[in-house]
Amino acid sequence: MPSLKEVRVRIASVKSTRQITSAMKMVAASKLRRAQNAIMTMRPYAAKLQEIMQNLSGSLDGSDEGIFGQDRGDNKVLLIPITSNRGLCGAFNANVIKETNHLLEGTYANQYKAGNVDFMCIGKKSADAFKKDGYNVVATHIDIFNDLSFEAVVEIAESLMADFAAKKYDKIILVYNQFKNAAVQILQTEQFLPVVPEETESEDGNVANYIFEPNKEDILEALVPKSIKVTLYKALLDSFAAEHGARMTAMHKATENADELVKELNLTYNKARQAAITKEILEIVGGAEALKG
């Protein structure tokens, strides 16, 4: 059994850790509220923009789908894992890194063996992981979450669009955590480029038909780049909110575990203290009996 001093030191250490995890939980909860409001506000706008674009692109001929809708196969691929800059958020980062590695070993195994898979890492954790493993990381964006704004995301999106238009990449894939609630994050693998048009049908199964002014092609030409930028911004907002939800949940669990550990250590301390007292009493009684003899 450990000494009383050792148990006291351990109790003090666990209580100090509990104060830290409790404070981190409250900070994460505060940041989560702002991040959650941002993504919940963005989703209806992004969904409606996507719906309009699908109504337009779904009825166009393949030759008129635009540069960002061209399906050139997947010979050259860019993977964009989106993680956080810091840890202490459960499996949030590990899940993204694991899924990205799964894509390399499965879907894009041939392209990877041929040296045709590059990485753009958003978040320090993904950048550190893939650089350490020797992958071809062509760009990193670590400071983006310090001040997550649409203007900053537009610069990244325009760079990606330029690379795709120049045929540097045939396919660009996002891997990130989608925010559902504070305790649940949904891992997403989403094709960023080329844009995949989907036919929008009415309830009776007929393709939706609208009158567009000036014309569908001109509207689509202006709408597609905007939709692409919004898609990336939404993915980053999702990941940002999911990160704080995961951290709040992890710190809540860590605080609960610290509470349980303090209870166990207090019980151990009391048992050790009681045993020491009992031993002293027995020694005193034994000494008194010896004097009587």
State the CB neighbour count (10 A cutoff) for residue 51. 13
The two tokens of residue 235 are 């993915």
Helix segments in the chain, DSSP class H: 4-57, 92-105, 109-113, 124-132, 150-165, 216-292
Beta-carbon contacts of residue 193 (< 8 Å; ≥ 6 apart): 68, 160, 161, 164, 169, 171, 172, 228
Q: State the catalytic residues.
A: 89
Q: Going by DSSP bridges, is the β-strand pair 77-81/171-181 parallel, antiparallel, or unpaired?
A: parallel
Look up tokens 């309830």; give the residue. Answer: 203
Burial (Cβ within 10 Å: 0-12, 13-18, ≥19) of residue 289: exposed
Q: Going by DSSP bridges, is the β-strand pair 184-193/117-122 parallel, antiparallel, or unpaired?
A: unpaired
**Residue 281, CB half-sphere, CA atoms under 13 Å: how many?**
6
- Asked if 197 contacts 102 with a C-beta cutoff of 8 angstroms, the reply is no
State the CB neighbour count (10 A cutoff) for residue 33. 13
Instruction: Name the 3-class secondary structure at 193.
Output: strand
